[in-house]
Amino acid sequence: MDATRVPPNSAQDKKFWEQETQEMTSSLLQHDLTITSDMNVIRFQKRITGALSVLMDYPTRVPYPEFEKLSREEQPMVTQFYTLMRTTNLQVLVDVVMQATLSHVKHTLGMEQPTFEDLLAMPLPTEADKKLWLVYFDGTERRDVIEIQEGAHESGTIVRRGKYVGSSVDNRGGGVRLAKHERAAVSKQSSEKKQRHHEELCRPGCKANLRVLAIFHHNVVERPYIGLLETLFVALLGTFVRRERPRTHNPACCYELYDEMRERSDMPVIEGDGLNGALPIHQGMTAIKHADQTFYCTVCGQELRPYSKARNACRLVDRGNPLGSRRCGPCHTAFSKDGKERTPGPDGKFRSSGGMRKQHQAWVAEGNADVCGNAACAALRQPGANFSGWMENARCGDCYAYLSYYKQSENSIAGVQERQPSEKELLARKHIWTVEEDELLKAQCELGMGYGTIARDYFPDMPAQTLRIRMGILKASRKLSRQTTKPKAPPWNDEEVKLLQDAVENKTKPKSIEHLLPQRSISAIHVKMGELRKKAQKETEFDSLGV
């Protein structure tokens, strides 16, 4: 079933959604026989499905061209969550929610009429829970304070009960955020006192009652779902407030979406005042730098995996559409140069820079000059010189920059085809450099002098650009002279690994065991010990969690 097809704009649509929700719930229950034994869990799943269907229906009601034109105050969710709702199946999201939510929480929020006391009966955060990412609930209780001679004392009268839903994706664990709430409730001081939740915690007589709702392991793929679960629990528990004062962080469109989620989930009202002043899906995805999904280049079909070099170099075909197709780095570069898509070779394969380099070397071996393709320039290609392109399309750095500038329509000049080097530049290329001149140039560059100043004071017959090219050649020559050919080390054997494991356990320095591994470099020992240390720490963490 595609959950984004039918917008609930009429009573008929709502009736259709209720029927579809029931079918979805029954189909999901067939995959998890343990749920069928608890009617509260079934009811919780139905409520979650109803609330999620509202979020997944939004991209259908508001297509991306319309969503893009909306201002920040008119968007109930950020683009990342809009993308998640548009590209994910409802059943997948329901499965994620059911797997992450604790069993006791599912039982409690699936009751016909849960009470505030039922919420406080949900599980407390354990030490193992505090090391993971959490979605949590805080049921604050503020009691009346009586001033007497000995000081202020709390009476048994409860003045106010509050409800707050939060999350934490701190790499140190969710316990860091929970500890901050507990300190605010005890010390009555907080750097976040302007926040509605901490403002309540800092009031006299207020006590924090933190409970765990859902748990996620430190997996970057699960990060997008944490804010989604937080939003669902905000809707189920009814903690989103400040409706009378809509502002930047809580615009009116968020309350419209929130009310629809409450209505379709059929969740009864629970005692307590809400303390959430913003909707998490409107605030944004916490600690999300890239969409954790794989894209493919629309031209050559290259796989663009998350956190890969190819992914970082890819670009959107339409810069205004983050949901659109992408070009990989080489295809984007080819399109930027010529305004045309990259074409495959005769064999149907797209040539990478490595393949073009081999073609260029074969072209030079046939007797062609390895120089700039601009006949007026014809600068020699050599290590350290800035060149772009291959074979007859090769251009030195100056000629390529010239063409890149003048090919733009606003900078175009009639009759301009190629750069025309000056006589001073052509004469300077014939200069034979001496060791003393090279040392003088390197010394002045190390002092931080500009090439124009060096040319004026020490090389008046040469343009500054020639000095820059010469300095690049010297750096490349020095780097090439330092390269040595080393044989590839053999794979690590069991005896070597056992030796390093003992060194990690005993906290022995790599320098102390270097003589025991004569065929290994000190850097290789450092790297391997680091891998073994991380592996041991991860195994220890899993053992403590009972995994």
Give the list of residues 6+ apart from residue 128 with CB closer than 8 angstroms, or none.
544, 545, 546
Element (H, E) at 296: strand 295-296
- Sequence letter at residue 427: L
3-state secondary structure 487-501: CCCCCCCHHHHHHHH
Residues 241, 274: Cα–Cα separation, whole Å = 6
Instruction: Give the model's pLDDT for residue 37.
Output: 44
- pLDDT by residue (tens digit) across 503-536? 988 888 888 888 888 888 888 888 888 888 888 8
Nearest-CA neighbor of 7 among 89, 76, 87, 63? 63
The pairing of beta strand 273-274 with beta strand 151-168: parallel
Nearest-CA neighbor of 20 among 33, 9, 34, 4? 4
Local structure of residue 319 (DSSP, 8 states) = T
Scanning the structure block, which residue is given the tokens 């993308």? 83
Element counts in the chain: helices (H) and strands (E): 23, 11
Instruction: Give the model's pLDDT for residue 23.
Output: 56
Scanning the structure block, which residue is given the tokens 């790599």? 510
156-165 burial code (b ≥16 CB/10 A, e <16): eeeeebbbbb
**Is the Cβ–Cβ distance between 41 and 35 less than 8 Å?**
yes
CA 172 and chain centroid, separation: 18
Instruction: Give the model's pLDDT for residue 350.
Output: 78
Instruction: Give the model's pLDDT for residue 259.
Output: 92
Nearest-CA neighbor of 272 among 182, 139, 165? 139
Per-10-residue mean pLDDT, the chain, length 547: 39 52 49 56 93 92 89 88 84 90 92 92 89 92 73 71 90 84 89 86 91 86 85 93 78 91 92 90 68 75 78 79 77 81 80 71 86 85 80 84 68 65 82 82 79 81 80 78 68 90 88 86 87 80 51
> Looking at the DSSP assignment, which residues form a beta bridge with residue 215?
134
Instruction: Give the model's pLDDT for residue 319.
Output: 72
| Six token digits for residue 21 | 């929700």
Supply φ then ψ for residue 301, to 5 degrees.
80, 15
The pairing of beta strand 295-296 with beta strand 303-304: antiparallel
Give the list of residues 6+ apart from residue 320 with CB closer than 8 angstroms, or none.
68
Instruction: Give the model's pLDDT for residue 292.
Output: 58
Instruction: Give the model's pLDDT for residue 7.
Output: 38
Instruction: Give the model's pLDDT for residue 208.
Output: 92
Supply φ then ψ for residue 206, to 5 degrees.
-90, 140
Scanning the structure block, which residue is given the tokens 């930027």? 336
The rounded percent of the chain whose pLDDT value lies above 70 is 83
Instruction: Give the model's pLDDT for residue 165.
Output: 94
What beta strand segments (E) does 74-216 contain? 133-148, 151-168, 206-207, 210-216
What beta strand segments (E) does 386-456 contain? 387-388, 395-396
Give the CB-side neighbour count of residue 137, counting CA atoms within 13 A.
34
- pLDDT by residue (tens digit) across 387-421? 878 788 888 888 888 877 776 545 555 556 788 88
Instruction: Give the model's pLDDT for residue 545.
Output: 46
> Looking at the DSSP assignment, which residues form a beta bridge with residue 210?
138
